[in-house]
C-alpha cells in the first residue's frame, strides 16, 4: 500500500510518534484533499465507537470461573508432587547422606559405649587380679556351676597375720545361679566364710572375694 | 513488582493490580481470585469480538468457552509475560473464531443465512451505560444496532481489524501479530474497512431521508 495511505490511517488511529505527527500535520495544511480524507476517516471511525460491548451469559461466565478454580486447585495439589519429582535426585541424595551419617555415628557410639564398659570391667578385673597376685599365699579354690561343666579354678594361698589368724584374698568369676562350693585341701579352711566385697564390683561382673577379713 | 507480590497468603486489592501482576499471582500462587479479576476486566471485550465475528449467540458462547479453556490450561506453558495478556488471549479468540468460520464456510454461507432477528439476544445483553431516559435509550439502541449491522457486512479480515482495534485497543503491531499479517497489511485492511463503512453510512442516508418524508 502507498505510504501516504498508511500514514492517513496511522494519523487517524493515533499511531504516529510526535515528530511524524508534526510532519504529517504540516502536510495536511498544504494538501486540501488529504485533509478531507483524514476528516472523513475520523468521522467514520468515531461512529464505530457506538458499537456496543456485551458480556458473556452469566452461566458461561460461572462455568469458566469454576473451571479456573478447579484448575488452580489441581495445580496446587500437584505442586508438592512436582517438587518431589523435580528434586527427586536431591531428596534421594539427602536421604542417603542422612542414613549414612546415622549408621556411621550409631554403631560407633554403641561400640564406644561398649568399649568403655569393657574397659571398666577390665580395669576392675585387672585391679582384682593384681590384688590376688600380690597376695603372699595362695590356695586352690573352685566354683562349680550346677548342671554345667564350666568349672573355674583360682589358686589362692592363705597367709597368717601377726595375730596368728589365717587370711587369704582372691577373686573368681561366679555365675549368678551358681552354688559355690569350696574345695579346700587344708583343714584350716573349715572356718572360712564367704563374704561379699562390694568395692569395685558391678552387675556385669559378679565376683566373690573370699577373705577372712571383712573389707 | 515481583517483590511486591509475596508468595505468602495475602489479601490483595485485585482491582489495583496490573494484568501482569494478576497473571503472576494466578500462575505462581494458583490464586483464582486473580484470574477472576482478569476475567472480569476483559470478558466483555473478548465476547463482543467473538460475537461480532460469528453473529450467533450459541456459537459465540462455545467459542468463548473454548478460548478460556485454552487460556486456563495453556497459560503456564504458552504465555510469555513480556507481551500483553489480553493480546495473547485475543490471539486465541481470533484463531478459534477464524477456524470456526473456515469450517462453517465449507458447509454453508453464514453471511447469506443471517436473519434480521439475529443479534436480538446480543442487544438485550448490552452493558448499561448510565441514566438515560426511555427515548434516548431507544435512539441509542437503534444507532448501535445499525452500526453493528454495518460492521457485520464487512469482509472478515477487515472486520477483525476493526473489532480488535475497537474492543481491545490493540496497536497495529499487535493486530498484525494476531492476524498473522504485516503491519502495512493491517493498516490497509483498516483503511478499506473505513471506506466500506463510509459507503454503508452513505447508503443509509437516503433511506433515513425517505422515512423523514
CB pair distance less than 8 Å for A57 and B61: yes
Helix (H) or strand (E) run with residue A105 in it: helix A88-134
What residues contact B54, with CB distance under 8 A and at least 6 apart? B60, B63, B97, B100, B101, B110
Query: What grid cell was written down for A36?
Result: 478531507
A194 falls in which pLDDT band (50, 70, 90)? low
Phi then psi for A8, rounded to 5 degrees? -60, -50
Q: Measured between alpha carbons, how far is B22 from B193 in angstroms, rounded to an integer?
A: 35
Which residue has 456496543 as its cell numbers? A52
Mean of the pLDDT values across residues A117-130? Answer: 54
Give the pLDDT score at A161.
73
DSSP, residue by residue, A28-57: HHH-HHHHHHHHHHHHHHHHHTTSPPBPPP
Give the pLDDT score at A16.
92
pTM higher than 0.95, yes or no? no
Bridging pattern class, strands A194-195 and A137-143: unpaired
- Classified by CATH at the fold level, domain B18-108 comes out as Rna Polymerase Sigma Factor; Chain: A (1.10.1740)
HSE-up (13 A, CA, CB side) for residue B36: 14
A20 falls in which pLDDT band (50, 70, 90)? very high
* Mean of per-residue pLDDT scores for chain B: 82
Query: What grid cell was written down for B177?
Result: 501479530
Query: What grid cell was written down for A89?
Result: 535426585
Name which of B100, B19, B2, B6 is nearest B54 in CA terms.
Answer: B100
Which residue has 437503534 as its cell numbers? B142
CB pair distance less than 8 Å for B190 and A13: yes
DSSP, residue by residue, A165-196: -EE-----B--TT-B-----SSGGGGG--EE-
Distance from CA of B28 to the nearest CA of A (A): 10
CA-nearest residue to A48 within chain B is: B147
Q: A167 pairs with which residues across the strands?
A: A159
CB pair distance less than 8 Å for B39 and A61: yes
Q: What is the pLDDT along chain B (213 residues), one digit of tens a residue?
A: 555 565 555 677 888 888 888 998 888 888 888 999 999 999 999 999 999 899 899 999 999 999 999 999 988 888 877 778 999 999 999 999 999 999 887 765 544 444 444 445 565 566 655 556 777 777 777 877 888 888 889 999 999 999 999 988 899 999 999 999 999 999 999 999 999 999 998 887 765 555 544
Please tell me if residue B194 touches chain A, with a CB cutoff of 8 Å: yes
Q: A138 pairs with which residues across the strands?
A: A157
A-chain residues near B191 (CB < 8 A)? 1, 5-6, 8-9, 41
CB pair distance less than 8 Å for B166 and A49: yes
> For the domain bounded by B111-151+153-205, which CATH number is listed?
1.10.10.10
B-chain residues near A47 (CB < 8 A)? 147, 197, 201
Residue A177 has pLDDT above 80, yes or no: no
Query: What grid cell was written down for B181?
Result: 499479517
B38 alpha-carbon distance from chain centroid = 15
A47 falls in which pLDDT band (50, 70, 90)? confident
Amino acid at each position: 500500500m502507498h505510504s501516504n495511505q498508511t500514514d492517513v490511517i496511522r494519523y487517524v488511529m493515533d499511531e504516529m510518534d510526535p515528530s511524524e505527527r508534526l510532519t504529517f500535520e504540516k502536510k495536511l495544511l498544504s494538501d486540501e484533499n488529504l485533509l478531507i480524507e483524514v476528516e472523513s476517516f475520523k468521522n467514520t471511525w468515531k461512529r464505530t465507537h457506538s458499537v456496543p460491548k456485551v458480556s458473556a451469559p452469566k452461566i458461561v461466565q460461572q462455568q469458566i470461573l469454576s473451571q479456573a478454580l478447579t484448575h488452580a486447585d489441581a495445580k496446587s495439589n500437584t505442586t508438592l508432587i512436582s517438587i518431589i519429582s523435580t528434586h527427586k535426585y536431591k531428596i534421594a541424595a539427602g536421604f542417603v547422606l542422612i542414613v549414612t551419617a546415622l549408621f556411621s555415628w550409631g554403631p560407633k557410639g554403641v561400640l564406644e559405649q561398649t568399649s568403655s564398659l569393657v574397659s571398666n570391667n577390665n580395669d576392675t578385673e585387672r585391679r582384682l587380679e593384681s590384688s590376688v597376685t600380690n597376695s603372699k599365699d595362695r590356695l586352690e579354690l573352685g566354683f562349680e556351676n550346677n548342671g554345667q561343666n564350666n568349672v573355674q579354678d583360682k589358686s589362692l594361698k592363705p597367709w597368717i597375720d601377726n595375730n596368728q589368724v589365717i587370711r587369704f584374698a582372691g577373686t573368681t568369676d561366679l555365675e549368678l545361679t551358681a552354688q559355690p562350693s569350696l574345695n579346700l585341701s587344708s583343714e584350716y579352711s573349715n572356718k572360712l566364710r564367704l563374704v561379699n566385697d562390694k568395692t569395685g564390683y558391678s552387675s556385669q561382673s559378679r565376683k566373690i572375694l573370699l577373705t577372712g577379713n571383712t573389707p | 513488582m515481583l517483590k511486591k507480590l509475596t508468595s505468602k497468603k495475602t489479601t490483595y486489592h485485585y482491582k489495583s493490580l496490573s494484568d501482569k501482576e494478576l497473571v503472576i499471582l494466578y500462575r505462581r500462587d494458583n490464586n483464582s481470585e486473580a484470574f477472576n479479576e482478569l476475567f472480569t476486566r476483559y470478558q466483555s471485550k473478548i465476547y463482543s469480538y467473538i460475537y461480532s465475528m460469528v453473529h450467533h449467540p450459541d456459537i459465540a458462547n462455545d467459542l468463548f468457552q473454548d478460548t478460556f479453556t485454552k487460556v486456563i490450561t495453556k497459560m503456564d506453558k504458552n504465555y510469555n509475560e513480556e507481551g500483553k495478556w489480553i493480546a495473547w488471549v485475543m490471539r486465541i479468540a481470533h484463531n478459534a473464531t477464524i477456524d470456526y468460520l473456515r469450517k462453517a464456510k465449507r458447509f454453508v454461507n453464514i453471511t447469506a443465512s443471517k436473519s434480521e432477528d439475529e443479534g436480538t439476544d446480543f442487544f438485550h445483553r448490552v452493558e448499561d451505560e448510565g441514566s438515560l431516559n426511555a427515548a434516548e435509550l431507544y435512539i441509542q439502541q437503534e444507532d448501535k444496532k445499525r452500526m453493528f449491522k454495518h460492521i457485520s457486512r464487512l469482509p472478515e479480515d477487515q472486520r477483525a481489524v476493526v473489532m480488535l482495534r475497537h474492543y481491545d485497543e490493540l496497536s497495529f503491531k499487535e493486530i498484525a501479530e494476531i492476524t498473522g499479517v504485516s503491519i502495512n497489511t493491517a493498516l490497509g485492511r483498516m483503511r478499506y474497512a473505513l471506506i466500506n463503512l463510509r459507503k454503508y453510512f452513505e447508503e443509509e442516508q437516503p433511506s433515513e431521508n425517505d422515512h423523514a418524508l
